[in-house]
Structure 1
């Protein structure tokens, strides 16, 4: 059975370009489902899902939007409409992947709908803004961007090739061989380069015990993506070794995961083992991105585009307090593992961020503010010591095995 591509676009102003892409998709052996989001005029190609249907799903009507002639209102209504319709159509089996073309507004609308789809569903956006910062469009979903080079305004020798490549790409995505997924429970873990030895060993032990492990880079989006997967019920347990995103949240760094970090596992009641990985560093980019008020602090050039700032004792106390507050809300088995000899590769004697005073402030705050429901373990080890990694893995496996035993008894 042929796979189907949902093609979202403004068929009133870009009908020629979308018709070309439609024909290219069909030439590659796929079917096309056409969704029109244009409000200015009637479409130049016949859609399967009309702009009127989208407007109604967004809480208005096409007639009303045209009468008001308010660009902002039309944008909000049509965006809301495709955000509601797209995931519903996917759940009904109407399409297998989605493609859109657009400039700034078209990209914002189409990607808002794409972000409503589950991880793993092919999502391709051909856009004139793709060569810039696209983080707002991608957020924490697996969107693929292709730079259109020229604007989506007419067909020529350049745009025909690029749009044909886009059609081939989305067809390749939806027609690929199905991946043989392992039927193993999933554990999520968090890692930074400075905690890699620990997390790698934890992952190995969990995999040896029969678990599949997904490691998230604790860069703000990584932590948020992990929280999303937990909320969607995809995760059995969490080895949250690297909680460094709290440093950026507290001190104003660039890699914060927001105030909801460390919430999902506790709310879901799944087993979690949490540690202090990289709580010694706040992340900035090139040196000139460090705020003036921090220029005299202990700074470390991790790379030419990454500048790290050592957390102060005051910041560490606040970080510890916030982490403890999140863990205290947990409804499932939770352990906090504290490595008394250092929290990252560069928080070690002789290294750039070795600061026993700051570490002590962090550890004292965690101890003071964590309630009795949290299993708190202090180990006289460095976070990257093998014994510390083994302790994390063993504790999580204990939680998971106990949970499985309880489920078997029910």
Structure 2
């Protein structure tokens, strides 16, 4: 049976561009389902399967209302809301194998809303004029691929033929690719990692793999934590080895790896085992030194690489995290435990060859533990280990506890 792809976009203003990629799909033997999000009209260049009237209705209004109001912002909002509903329902009822769209800032916002409503692994491509800089408002935690349009998406020309052909070819290849599945699928667990906790997580991953688990490791860079939380909420994960919770330091300190206030919520809401450690909460992350807020000029910093500068967290900031971590654990519907390394939370927060490293600060670390214990409800266990987080004995204990919880 031929694979099906959805082409979504504003066909009133970009009919020719969408026809160009539709023709490529048809030549490659794919079925095409079209979804129009154009507010001012449609096109007769190809068949429309889902009209903009239906999209507007799913967004809680009517196309006539949007047209008469002549409010572009309100129209974009309605079509953004509506297309997510329409495409999600289409996937549930009819099923399809991939989705593609294109646009400028508004068009990208609309089509990526549809893509964010779809499951991980389904091929998603958006050709966009804003495929650079901070694209997180468009991507969220989805696995959508943004392809730069280089020029504005305005007609078929010598350059647009190239990037539109590449985009259509990429989606064609993705939907026709055979994903190998294994007969012995293993239970999936999630683990959070940072450069400063890599030795610990590498050891944990090896031990858990040997015990029959598939370990998905997420880089704690804001996007990594959000993605891990979303996968857990979606039911793909059986347990969370949350060793590296550094993103909360960025939430509190205004760093660049902020995963948002929902970080640590997912495992508790899903009711899965959740082992938490304060990995790398001794550091808040910024970009190059000249990007650091002036208010932090007197703080302690470490230049990790040319684009990442680490700032040591204070006892006050660590105490704030202790209270927050306790609140998250108290709200959990599943089993949650804490494992605390008493000899430091990272490579920099350690003693190496008898010498304290730059971020070694037992008072700051203790502030976290004291606040955590003071705010945890009875019955939630806090295990303290006389080790650094990257010592082999810490990884061994973490896996031992985690397997008991599982």
> Which sits farther off after the overlay, 366-375 or 223-232?
366-375
Is 1:247 matched with 2:249? yes
Structure 2 length normalisation: TM-score? 0.96
TM-score, with length taken from structure 1:
0.95
Alignment correspondent of 1:13: 13
Output the CA distance in 2 between the equivalents of 1:159 and 1:267.
46
Match of 1:364 among 370, 373, 377: 370
Q: 2:383 aligns with which of 357, 377, 380?
A: 377
Equivalent residue for 1:324, pick from 326, 349, 360 = 326
Q: Secondary structure at the match of 2:82?
A: helix
1:131 & 1:272 partners in 2: Cα distance? 35
2:392 equivalent to 1:386 = yes
Aligned with residue 283 of structure 2, among 281, 287, 290: 281
**Superposed CA offset, 1:314-341 (max 9, x none):** 1111111111221122222211000000
What corresponds to 2:306 in structure 1? 304
SS of 2:218's equivalent in the other structure is: strand
Please state how far the C-alpha of 1:43 moved relative to its aligned partner. Answer: 2.0
Rounded to whole Å, the distance in 1 between the matches of 2:44 and 2:107 is 17
SS at match of 1:157: coil
> Hey, what's the Cα distance between the residues in 2 that align with 1:259 and 1:130?
26
**What is the alpha-carbon distance in structure 1 between the residues aligned to residue 94 and residue 42 of structure 2?**
28
CA-to-aligned-CA distance 1:284-309 (integer Å, 9 cap, x gap):
11111211111110011111111110
Q: Which residue of 1 aligns with 2:230?
A: 228
Residue in structure 2 matched with residue 37 of structure 1 by the alignment:
37
Q: 1:258-301 CA deviation, whole Å, 9 max, x = no partner?
A: 22211121222211111010010011111112111111100111
Equivalent pairs counted in the alignment come to 400
Per the TM alignment, residue 372 of structure 1 is displaced from its structure 2 partner at its CA by 2.3
What CA distance in whole angstroms lies between the structure 2 residues aligned with 1:342 and 1:371?
Answer: 25
Gaps of 5+ in 1: 401-410
* SS of residue paired to 2:50: coil
Superposed, which structure 2 residues align to 1:55-70 within 5 Å?
55-70=56-71
Alignment of 1:7-406 (within 5 A): 7-45=7-45, 46-181=47-182, 182-349=184-351, 350-400=356-406
Moved more, 254-263 or 140-149: 254-263
Cα offsets for 1:388-410 (capped at 9, x unmatched): 0010011110111xxxxxxxxxx
Distance 2:320 2:133 in 1: 35
1:55-110 per-position Cα deviation (integer Å, ceiling 9, x unaligned): 12222222222222221221112111101011111112342110001111100100
Q: Cα distance, 1:136 vs. partner?
A: 1.3
Q: Which residue does 1:403 correspond to in 2? A: none
Query: 1:12, 1:44 within 8 Å by CA — same for their partners in 2?
Result: no
Whether the aligned pair in 2 keeps the contact of 1:274 and 1:335 (CA below 8 Å) is: yes
Instruction: Show structure 2 runs of 5+ residues with no match.
Output: none
CA deviations on 1:227-255 (whole Å, 9 max, x unpaired) are 11111111111100001111112222221
Kindly tell me: are residues 335 and 94 of structure 1, through their superposed partners in 2, closer, same or farther at Cα, counting changes over 3 Å? closer
